Amino acid sequence: MSLGFRLYSYFNGNLVHQDSLGNKYYHDKKNSSKRWVVYAQGFGPESLPTQFHNWLHNTSDELLNLDLDTNNQESLVKRRIQKHSVKHKETIDKGYNSWNPK
């Protein structure tokens, strides 16, 4: 995250929760329906548990305190990344012979 965004979060947001990975969840001081997250170093959107994702998108107003231990949560994130990663073919077999100009 940029320094400007961190300063904006500090001055304009209220820290609501910090999970065991270090992700920080904020809502705006003037408008509590405006919500955002500052991801921990080395993590991204895949590190959000479902309950926090729902809170960020105003689907739910409750933030359940589901603090898992850091190792357990990191293993969940790694499994989620592996599940959604794109698997490329090892070979370049396209199933047809492409035209090569002479």
The pTM of this model reads 0.66
Which residue do the tokens 């992700």 mark? 23
pLDDT digits (tens, 9 = 90+) for 17-63: 888 888 899 999 999 889 999 988 888 888 787 778 888 888 877 77
CA–CA separation, 24 vs 14, rounded Å?
A: 10
Task: Please report the pLDDT score of residue 65 as a whole number.
Answer: 62
Task: Please report the pLDDT score of residue 3 as a whole number.
Answer: 87
Percent of residues, the chain, with pLDDT higher than 70: 75
